[in-house]
Structure 1
């Protein structure tokens, strides 16, 4: 195989993975720093606390903020390295095995499931919108849709789903926007967010 026969790396996907992973990692890092600040001083005035509604202190202090016995942001510090690494690998011309894409997709699906639960807890139980948490939500949702569409279209989940995956690929961004709109609508109906703007 000559250099001209080598398939071009999926640059758009690679850049998206790197940017989304970096944003998610930064949000997780910021939440971790804020958690340390609260541990040192429970009365600390966090930079992410803008109002009674928009704040991260209540989320970090809740049991929902440490579901597995340690602060949730530590999951993000480890987890968001994965899309960054995959994106850099794709830019470098790496070709990952089918099992790898499936495992990567399952990890992102798990992250989305956890994020959906955290969204419900934040809106319906805690009554707050944590800025850094919302950034994590904002990157996890498209990560799921775009990686899932890519894997379906490339046959990672079997040939019968390729056509569906190709169709979903063109709808991944609109579906992401609709997902954002659903979260925003639920937050508005439950918390009357516009009143605080």
Structure 2
């Protein structure tokens, strides 16, 4: 079995974020699951998160992109968001995970990040809508991937040169700005493609 990777101190801030992200992401997935069940019961119904033709959940939920694996995507979220919640709570409780666990967890967050980026592209460029609960998922998935990736780099869980470790440690302090910058890019692309501001006037 792999030995636990050394860390200079318990990553408390990251643990707290993982718990927050897990709760928020799970609630978004739960809300979307309820909306999908509602639409299955009555295909002519309007989802409670449908505010106008642009800001809505219904069109996303019934699209092919909304059921990538043959069942509603929110069901994936119901299961997947338990992982960061568990990891965050375990870290605060004093748990130290083996190197292989961090590798698997990082791959999982990378997969979630890639899936979310694909859904963002599909939502803006193909479906032509912005789903409120989906956007909540985007908001927590993106920084979660950044935080976990920077953590495994700065602690040497992923073997990288010392300069990369120092850079990852320094970048961790800029996480809020990095997240906001990512949101800004999405907002600009959505505005240029969908004229979000115009739809709200």
- State the TM bucket, normalised to the shorter chain: over 0.9
CA distance in 2, matches of 1:21, 1:122: 23
Q: What SS does the corresponding residue of 2:173 show, helix, strand or coil? A: helix
Aligned to 1:189: 192
Q: Which structure 1 residue ranges, 4+ long, deviate > 3 Å from structure 2? A: none
How far the C-alpha of 1:31 sits from its partner, in A, is 0.5
Q: Normalising by structure 1, what TM-score?
A: 0.93
Structure 2 unmatched runs, 5+? 1-7
CA distance in 1, matches of 2:77, 2:65: 15
Mapping 1:3-14, distance limit 5 Å: 9-14=10-15
CA distance in 1, matches of 2:23, 2:103: 22
How far the C-alpha of 1:171 sits from its partner, in A, is 2.8
Aligned to 2:77: 76
CA distance in 1, matches of 2:9, 2:150: 19
Instruction: Kindly tell me the number of residue pairs found equivalent between the two proteins.
Output: 191
How far the C-alpha of 1:9 sits from its partner, in A, is 3.5
How far the C-alpha of 1:10 sits from its partner, in A, is 2.6
With 172-181 and 36-45 compared, the bigger mean Cα shift is at: 172-181
Q: Normalising by structure 2, what TM-score?
A: 0.91
CA distance in 2, matches of 1:31, 1:136: 10
How far the C-alpha of 1:8 sits from its partner, in A, is 5.8
How far the C-alpha of 1:168 sits from its partner, in A, is 2.4
How far the C-alpha of 1:159 sits from its partner, in A, is 4.2
1:17 aligns with 2:15: no
Q: Name the Cα RMSD after superposition.
A: 1.2
Mapping 1:47-196, distance limit 5 Å: 47-160=48-161, 161-196=164-199
CA distance in 1, matches of 2:65, 2:9: 43
Summarize deviations over 1:86-123 as a string: whole Å, max 9, x none.
Answer: 00101100011111111111100000100000000100
Check conservation: 1:8, 1:93, Cα contact below 8 A.
no
CA distance in 1, matches of 2:174, 2:150: 9
Q: What SS does the corresponding residue of 2:89 show, helix, strand or coil? A: helix
Q: What SS does the corresponding residue of 1:157 show, helix, strand or coil? A: coil
Q: What SS does the corresponding residue of 1:25 show, helix, strand or coil? A: helix
Aligned to 1:35: 36
Check conservation: 1:149, 1:172, Cα contact below 8 A.
no
